[in-house]
Amino acid sequence: MKKPWIWIASVGGVVVLAVGAWFAGEWVASQIVTSTVREQVIETLALPADQQIDVAVSGAVLPQLIGGTIDDITVSSQNVTVGEFTGDVSVHATGVPTRGSGDIESATATVTIDEAELQRLLSTVKGFPADTVGLAEPDVTMSKTLNLLGLSVPVAVGLTPSAQDGKLILTPDYVKVAGAQLSAADVKSRFGDAASAVVRDWPVCIAQYLPAGVTLTDVAVTGNELVTHFAIDGAIAHDKSLQEKGTCA
């Protein structure tokens, strides 16, 4: 009869081989997911072929591939050029089907842009003084000349960013005139139509730069950056119309 430790050694060898095979399979599965996701993102957003894209999947990848669904995945990249601006992008999704035509369970995206890129974006808005734009949490700031009683008066304006119907809206919060800060409502009541060039909402359509299945839901100034949040239609994974660029109504 063989000594016990020989059996133990044999079993141990099988376990080592099994573990090695598992890790080899897991590595291959992880590489497949990373490569596939990267290729799809580059194709969908028309990014440069050498764009650095980070893909992080929670948990073991192999059983998720076998099961047909990626439970939790985050895809991120810096300096992604979308239309008229460049920003850092992070997409988080759950319940992503790996085969068939099922919908993604949920997906959101965050795009962060700096002051220079915000200026580039706002340069597409007619009449907006984009070259004067700044970021001062919680506001977007700008400077403009207001014509009052035949005089050209330089003013500084604080704008509150928000998301409405998928658009970025900049709403006047305060106006600084000759060092004095007034509320936008006060300026409008005092100067009426003369203040309309400054005290008005500025809608910024960004749908034209994004896939139709991506909708702006929230925006805020954080530090010296504008942080925007988007909802992603779960059908975008298989619906070509949602992958096409959106339009401005």
Q: pLDDT value at position 246?
A: 86
* Greater pLDDT, 8 or 228: 228
pLDDT band at 12 (very low <50, low <70, confident <90, very high): very low
Q: Give domain status of residue 239, yes or no.
A: yes
Q: Give domain status of residue 198, yes or no.
A: yes
pLDDT reading at 1 higher than 60: no
Q: Give domain status of residue 51, yes or no.
A: no
Q: pLDDT value at position 24?
A: 64
Answer yes or no: pTM beyond 0.75: yes
193-212 pLDDT per residue, tens: 777 778 889 999 888 888 88
The structural domain count of the chain equals 1
Say if residue 49 is exposed, middle or buried (CB neighbours under 10 Å; 0-12, 13-18, 19+): exposed
* Mean pLDDT for the stretch of residues 218-245: 91
Q: pLDDT value at position 135?
A: 97
* Greater pLDDT, 44 or 108: 108
Domain span including residue 116 = 68-249
Q: Give domain status of residue 9, yes or no.
A: no
Q: Give domain status of residue 38, yes or no.
A: no
Q: Give domain status of residue 104, yes or no.
A: yes
46-100 pLDDT per residue, tens: 778 888 889 898 988 888 888 888 899 899 999 988 767 789 999 999 988 887 6
